[in-house]
Structure 1
Amino acid sequence: MSIIFLIIGLVVLYGVISTFYHHGEISPIIFVFFFTLFFSIFANVDLYLKKKNIEKLFLKKLKINNI
């Protein structure tokens, strides 16, 4: 799931930024900033999803132990 999100996001981000860069409306430093911003958002979303999954597994294990 997270790899699919990463690939789709990178393709969309590259398309949008390269379009503006081609027309001269964006500088290379902003290009780097957007890629860094995207990767930080991706990392936070990925960690959040993993944390939720670990919490579900932990709660499921607690329910099994309590039965």
Structure 2
Amino acid sequence: MAKATSSKVSKSKAPSKKAAKTTAKKTAKTTANTTAKTTAKKSASRTPAPLPAQNKPKAK
């Protein structure tokens, strides 16, 4: 049991290359979506608003 737990911990601390790529893709997609939404809202309302700060918690 202890060995299995320790191996899980080490894996989560040092993610594989595949996991890193997946995370990078998710981050890029989220950033792109947030940017698109922010740009659309800004162009529609014509007023700069702190939209990125509001969108980040929703993405998580």
TM bucket (normalised to shorter chain) is 0.5 to 0.7
Q: How many percent of aligned residue pairs carry the same amino acid?
A: 8
How many aligned positions are there?
38
Runs of 4+ in structure 1 over 3 Å off: none
3-state DSSP of counterpart to 2:16: helix
Structure 1: segments with no counterpart, 5+ residues: 1-16, 23-29, 62-67
1:25-54, Cα deviation, whole Å (9 max, x unpaired) = xxxxx7110000000000000000000100
Higher helix share: 1
Specify which of 10, 14, 37 is matched with residue 19 of structure 1: 10
Specify which of 35, 38, 42 is matched with residue 27 of structure 2: 42
Counterparts of 1:39 and 1:59, CA distance in 2: 30
Structure 2: segments with no counterpart, 5+ residues: 1-7, 47-60
Counterparts of 1:32 and 1:18, CA distance in 2: 16
TM-score by length of 1: 0.47
